[in-house]
Structure 1
Amino acid sequence: MPQPRPRRAVCLDLDGTLIDSAPDLAAALNRRLAANGLAPQPLASVKQMIGDGARVLLTRGFAAAGRPLTETELAAELEAFIPDYEAQSLDETRPFPGVEEALEALADAGFMLAIVTNKPEAPTRTILRRLGLETRFATVAGGDSFPVRKPDPGHILGTLERLGIAPADAVMVGDHANDLVAARGAGVRAIYAAFGYGEADHRALGAAAVIERFDALPGAVAALFASAS
């Protein structure tokens, strides 16, 4: 009689890992800058501002444009930014090449899939649903799903608790230092998505593997678990 597959999970970051959302995030940021009479920020610069949520994106964007925000101004800008971005969050946002095939391969291999992102949970689910990806994931953990978020390891640990998966049986995939730091703190092996927006020193931060494109993920995950068995 065949033995049941062990329960294992692959946790994925969203922006810069699963989806290429930088053009829409940059456009939304630049609309707020324009509303304040400030020059737009180039896409390459905005990519380096992504990964810590909308509040930090706005803080970094306005500072780069030469007008740092006070806390009161930031609250007002955030209130304007979020609905504007959500209304146009899929103008140019698309999954990275190979995403659908790689997710199917991981699911066929018996892995549970989860999203662990600092983007709030509701817009994350909306984006996934509109891209036809939401049903691929057993759970979606946004930046507001728990009292903490990446780089706090509690964000990953809370997600794994939802799934009933031990840290040793999980992998975290992301393009940002936050992903690697959170994974290290949670005792979860990390795969660095080098095609994303981050410029993390993945070796210093303990990434167990690096992928240059998304379709390499199933092989990288299989290799990690094979080496641990």
Structure 2
Amino acid sequence: MIKGIIFDKDGTLFDFNATWGTWTRAMLEAETAHDPALFDPLAEALGYDTDQNRFLPDSLVIAATAGETADRIRSVLPQLDRQALLARMNDAAAQVPQVETVPLIAYFTNLRQAGLRLGIATNDAEAPARIHLERAGVNAMFDFVAGYDSGYGGKPAPGQLLAFCDQTGLRPDECLMVGDSTHDLHAGRAAGMGTVGVLTGPAPAEELSAIADAVLQHIGEIPDWLRSQTPPMI
């Protein structure tokens, strides 16, 4: 029986490329002062397709922490101060309009009414993550929210997921980890949780299916999938 679900944020609750694709181009142009000699290498380093304004499936950014992304940016632009860059990234990211993969208020209301405990484990920083959840009207529905900077580490390590269990009193085998990247699924496996991959991020189904118990189109399919198991898991 599943009693708790912990979700990734970007690419899971919010469509990854629809949310971050165009915004990222503007960010890269600003950091390179619109210099093509810097913009093109930076886009390549981040796995960003400048023709389509979207991230490639193997982009570091899909599963990286903000700190890891900043370090990759500084591999091309070493003159940038790391802390100042991170501050700009977090401040700007907090303002990006998020494109929901399903209507989130109704979705999480239904999960709460089913008695499930809910959490967020993101490799984003906690502050902008909470702003995104608050703006979507769902922040108060979560028992636990952790970013890479919340003191539990980042994925693919299981620290955030185990902290969710500590806070809710649930065992890992009573929980699911849901995400759009292999980092999410490896974290779930390492924590001893069930794993569900979703296709609302750049990673293809074949990449996720090697690690996930199930690969679904989006989080909206999870309740029916749980009920379809033998025995039903909710």
Query: Of the candidates 186, 201, 210, which is equivalent to residue 207 of structure 2?
Result: 201
Structure 2 contact 198–215 (Cα < 8 Å) conserved: yes
1:107 aligns with 2:119: no
Structure 2 contact 104–138 (Cα < 8 Å) conserved: no
SS of the aligned residue for 1:18 comes to coil
1:14 aligns with 2:9: yes
Structure 2 contact 5–175 (Cα < 8 Å) conserved: yes
Per the alignment, residue 139 of structure 2 pairs with 134
SS of the aligned residue for 1:35 comes to coil
1:54 aligns with 2:60: no
**Percent identical:** 27
Per the alignment, residue 90 of structure 2 pairs with 82
Aligned residues between the structures: 216
Give 1:228 shift: 6.4
Structure 1 contact 157–186 (Cα < 8 Å) conserved: yes
Once residues 99 and 83 of structure 1 are traced to their aligned partners in structure 2, the CA distance between those partners, rounded to angstroms, is 23
CA RMSD of superposed structures (Å): 2.8
Alignment of 1:1-229 (within 5 A): 8-20=3-15, 21-23=19-21, 26-27=24-25, 29-35=27-33, 37=35, 38-39=38-39, 41=48, 42=50, 43-45=53-55, 48=59, 49-60=61-72, 62=73, 68-70=76-78, 73-86=81-94, 88-90=95-97, 93-199=98-204, 201-205=207-211, 207-224=212-229, 226=231
Give 1:167 shift: 0.4
Structure 1 contact 174–180 (Cα < 8 Å) conserved: yes
Q: What is the TM-score with the length of structure 2 in the denominator?
A: 0.79
Partner amino acid, structure 1, of 2:218: R
Cα gap change, 1:7 to 1:188, in 2 (>3 Å): closer
Cα gap change, 1:202 to 1:73, in 2 (>3 Å): same
Partner amino acid, structure 2, of 1:203: S
SS of the aligned residue for 1:171 comes to strand
Once residues 84 and 233 of structure 2 are traced to their aligned partners in structure 1, the CA distance between those partners, rounded to angstroms, is 49
Structure 1 contact 192–202 (Cα < 8 Å) conserved: yes
Per the alignment, residue 3 of structure 1 pairs with none
Gaps of 5+ in 1: 1-5
Partner amino acid, structure 2, of 1:89: V
Q: Which consecutive segments of 4 or more residues in structure 1 shift more than 4 A?
A: none
Structure 2 contact 101–200 (Cα < 8 Å) conserved: no
